[in-house]
Amino acid sequence: MLEITRESIEKATAKARIAKPLVKVIEFRRYSVTNRETGATYEVRFTKIGNQKFGECTCPATKICYHISSCLPINAVLASQMIQTA
Ligand SMILES: [Zn+2]
């Protein structure tokens, strides 16, 4: 698991804006991310421990990758909806 901080996702977010991968929701905090050019699909999961957020991806990257950063906006929207309905 990799900790998600503003610093750690900065580069990945820039890459996600260029790559624009296809993100599908599997369930809350679990997403499938597909590279539109290669068709490669990876699974991203998020975990929250206290105030720290963590992400993991099935791709070979050892840092926060653009798959993780691509899912963050969707995860934030789903999280806000969960709070409203709870
Ligand atoms: Zn990845």
pTM for the whole structure: 0.91
Residues of the chain under the 50 pLDDT cut: none
Dist. CA 79–CA 29, nearest whole Å: 9
Distance, CA 2 to ligand 1 centroid (Å)?
11
Ligand 1: centre distance to CA 41 (Å): 9
Name the residue type at position 38.
Answer: T
Q: What is the pLDDT of residues 52-73, one digit of tens each?
A: 999 999 999 999 999 999 999 9
Q: Is the backbone of residue 36 left (phi > 0), alpha (psi -120 to 50) or beta? A: alpha
Q: Ligand 1 centroid vs 85 CA: distance in angstroms?
A: 30
Ligand 1: centre distance to CA 9 (Å): 12
Three-class DSSP labels, 7-67: HHHHHHHHHHHHHCCEEEEEECCEEEEECCCCCCEEEEEEEEECCEEEEEECCCCCCCCHH
